[in-house]
Amino acid sequence: MRKQITFAISLFILTAGITSCQKDKETSTKKDVAGKWQVVKIETTVAGAPVVTYTGVAADYFEFRNNEEDEVVVNYNGSNYIGTYVVMDNKLINLSYNGKLRTAQITTISASQLEFTANVEGATVKTTEKFYFKR
């Protein structure tokens, strides 16, 4: 009986230890993205035209909220928007604001820097936006 109890307790501790140490990459990336980011610059490329660069000012930011709606508050170039975002595996992020869906690949993420390149879905001419942020 004592061996069975010892075995059961050991199995429980082992199982609890393994499951508590596992990380969910999606959750980790989402946690890294969440928060307020200052806009450094946004480069917009429309097929057949030169790149247009918007350089951020002190009032420009994107705030990725970690709430049930996964809201993103966008304030840049004198405009304010509220939208949503989804962070997926392989550092993919989808942003929806200003009536446009942007599907993006995160290229750089750290505690102080976030960069991603997004395709604007449904645009009549292929449009790509490269976002540069800092904290």
What is the rounded average pLDDT of the residues 70-93? 94
Instruction: Match 């230890």 to its residue by tokens.
Output: 17
Following DSSP, what letter does each residue of 33-79 receive, concatenated?
Answer: H-EEEEEEEEEEEETTS--EEEE--TT-EEEE--STT-EEEEEETTE
Closest by alpha carbon to 77, among 53, 102, 109?
53
Kindly report which listed range (8-12, 45-49, 50-54, 105-109) carries the lowest average pLDDT score: 8-12
Amino acid 26: pLDDT: 42
